[in-house]
Amino acid sequence: YKASSVSLSSFKDANKVSNFARTGMQWAVGNGVITGNASSNTLNPLGTTTRAEAASMLYKYCLKVK
């Protein structure tokens, strides 16, 4: 398993990711755990998540951290 992280600059709302969460968000995006909203090219870091979105993130996390 290789951890990777990416720049969040390609997302329109990357500047809204809190400083304390930036490293974790970069890891989650870099490893495909969080993909963002493709139609609006946003992460929505200040929003809420649905149960389905949370389940998807947990599933992707479990696949990455075997």
Q: Which pLDDT band holds residue 59 (cuts at 50, 70, 90)? A: very high
The 3-state DSSP class for residue 42 equals strand
pLDDT of residue 20: 96
Q: Quote the CA–CA distance of 21 and 51 in Å, as a whole number.
A: 21
The token pair at 46 is 């200040």
Query: Per-residue pLDDT tens for 2-37?
Result: 567 899 999 999 999 999 999 999 999 999 999 999
